[in-house]
Structure 1
């Protein structure tokens, strides 16, 4: 299955999400009067404390808008994601609300169920989604990047904001830019969590706008 456009009344494998060139873009009105965000290249004690605290997260659930650009094409979708230590369940819906993919990750395997109910499996999410959707979903790293922290399994570079979250992060050949944070009730505390995230690797660009944690 490869997402392509235009979207018919009934989703089919060769169909995809409609191009919305301005969807999820930040308004430029008044931006010239805003000061540039203050960043620091090294992690402060607040940033280190925040990272350690959030890396201990065992579970979360969120809903988000998803925009994908690759090979000169652009698509939009809605995503519902439930993360646990040993299981990820991610549902991707068309703009009209039809489920087009169900992705599940366990410690042993990753499966993708398409809109026709056919089950596909692989050892990692990125290769499976590239094969079936046409673009790579970096689920392994995204479980941490979505919280505004690097994962602990590979080197990274980051520039940090005053509250301890990164303005940008480079890890596993992905460039992650955080365009906004909001104070959010999370695991019994208030945390500054991202709500507007851009990821890029080569020609693949993903944009996530978090609607609900």
Structure 2
């Protein structure tokens, strides 16, 4: 059911090493699977109340395992992400612990620093990662999707668990599936948040296995 927004050249070569440093794995094919659970299509009072509570979340930090599949290849990495309304900082590490990319977002610009220390700039994270890594990281929506809620700026479709958490979500051309909800303490609230988030758009599949929230 469609719902309105909830309201209250050389640079690419330098980053080839980043893609290769994300060790290839066949296990990433799990990104394409969808968890099975009872779900309802229409928003429920429980889901609306949950969305209202999540409006209080303005910042968070998380650590996660990141799996990426595109162009028939799969990669894994470790992600550290600090989010505030004005900034984002994402550190991407190889499975062996080497930092291979640092992404900084501010209101003015986005900068990606590769493992050689070279900086690359763009107006948004999605276009920068697509140019340099080959796949889009939808950071604008992801800061809400990772919490298990749509962002308030565009229309979306969702199905919900009986307890109010979304089971699936479609927004901005991305399909998102959730699993493994657990009570989680954030600075502003304690809420049931997903431990596993799968995203797909065209041939790009991303999987976030969240290990730690702050």
Which residues of 2 match residues 34-183 of structure 1 at below 5 A?
37-183=37-183
Shift of 1:25: 4.4
Q: Secondary structure at the match of 2:195?
A: strand
**Aligned residues of 1:55 and 1:149 also touching (Cα < 8 A):** no
Q: Which residue of 2 aligns with 1:8?
A: none
Per-residue displacement from partner, 1:76-102 (whole Å, max 9, x unpaired)?
000000001100000000001000100
* Count of aligned pairs: 198
The CA RMSD over aligned residues, in Å, is 2.0
Q: Secondary structure at the match of 2:194?
A: strand
Query: Which structure 2 segments of 5+ residues have no match?
Result: 1-11
Q: How far, CA to CA, are the matches of 2:18 and 2:140 in structure 1?
A: 25
Moved more, 127-136 or 188-197: 188-197
Shift of 1:23: 5.5
Shift of 1:61: 0.3
Q: How far, CA to CA, are the matches of 1:13 and 1:37 in structure 2?
A: 36
Shift of 1:164: 1.1
Query: Which structure 1 segments of 5+ residues have no match?
Result: 5-11, 29-35
- Label 1:42 to 1:14 Cα distance change in 2 as closer, same or farther (>3 A): closer
Shift of 1:180: 1.9
Q: Which has the higher helix share?
A: 2
Q: Which residue of 1 aligns with 2:192?
A: 192
Shift of 1:57: 1.2
Per-residue displacement from partner, 1:38-80 (whole Å, max 9, x unpaired)?
2111111111111122133110000000000000000000000
Per-residue displacement from partner, 1:163-192 (whole Å, max 9, x unpaired)?
211000000000000022111122354311
Q: Secondary structure at the match of 1:15?
A: helix
Please identify runs of 4+ aligned residues in structure 1 that moved more than 3 A: 1-4, 23-26
Pick 1 or 2: higher relative contact order, CA cutoff 8 A, min separation 6. Answer: 2
Taking structure 2 as the reference length, the TM-score comes to 0.87
